[in-house]
Amino acid sequence: MSYTETFLQEIKGRWAQFTLNNSRMLVYISIIYIVGLIGLSLPITRPLFIFLVPFNILMSVGLLLLFHTPWNWKFVAVMVSIGITGFFAEYWGVQTGFLFGAYHYKEGLGIQWLGIPLILAPNWMYMIYTTGYIAQRLFSTYAVRIVAGAILMVVYDLFLEPSAMEYNFWQWETGYVPLRNYAGWFGLSLLFQALFQWFVPSPQNRIAIGIYIIQLVFFISLFVINIAKSIAF
């Protein structure tokens, strides 16, 4: 065996050992989100942690993909399609107000193109993957998986929306979240879930469920903290 082959085998072995310890990885991710929760809640550190939000999304997406198996052209094509379509759906939504309602993005999510934060493309991939993965573990029927995944997306968005306005990610022209947003979110999620459930029917990922729960708890916690602040002050 050549030096290169030996090196690659060593890397493969170390990575296999690393990914087996998924509980430890979820603990690390939880710590990062707890630090983020504290940082966003304190006025003195809030600007820094808002700046770090896009990097945290990239970290979450990267870890999710690292733990995913199997890799094949269908998986790559579906995830890229979801990311690109999600990005341009956001563009269409901002331009017309038809899909989600009248809103615009602010500077909190980093670099933008066409008025849309670039980070939204990988974020759509992340959200559809985690919710679709959970739906696959709960149900065996294709149609039920699609609906369940879309419902999980709406649950996620229910707690994301208040935080998004609070932390300068986007702003609704009405000053509140319109019901059309959740209908549009559910409809677009149905489309993406149909693609994911059909072309990625049996993925394996040791952290997908855990990372969804961690993020959901994170946004619920932010929601509760902001409600408590508004009552107290």
Extract the tokens encoding 113.
């193109």
Residue 65, classified by CB atoms within 10 Å of its CB into exposed (0-12), middle (13-18) or buried (19+), is middle
Would you state the pLDDT for residue 2?
60
Do the Cβ atoms of 116 and 54 come closer than 8 Å? no
pLDDT digits (tens, 9 = 90+) for 124-133: 999 999 999 9
Extract the tokens encoding 223.
């929601």
Distance CA(56)–CA(54), nearest Å, equals: 5
Alpha helices by DSSP H, listed for the chain, are: 3-20, 22-41, 46-66, 73-96, 120-138, 142-166, 179-199, 208-232
The pLDDT > 90 percentage for the chain reads 60
pLDDT digits (tens, 9 = 90+) for 149-171: 999 999 999 988 888 888 888 88
Residue 201: pLDDT band with limits 50, 70, 90:
confident
Task: Choose between 9 and 202: higher pLDDT.
Answer: 202
Q: List the chain domain ranges.
A: 3-232
pLDDT digits (tens, 9 = 90+) for 59-113: 999 999 989 989 999 999 999 999 999 999 999 999 998 888 888 998 888 899 9
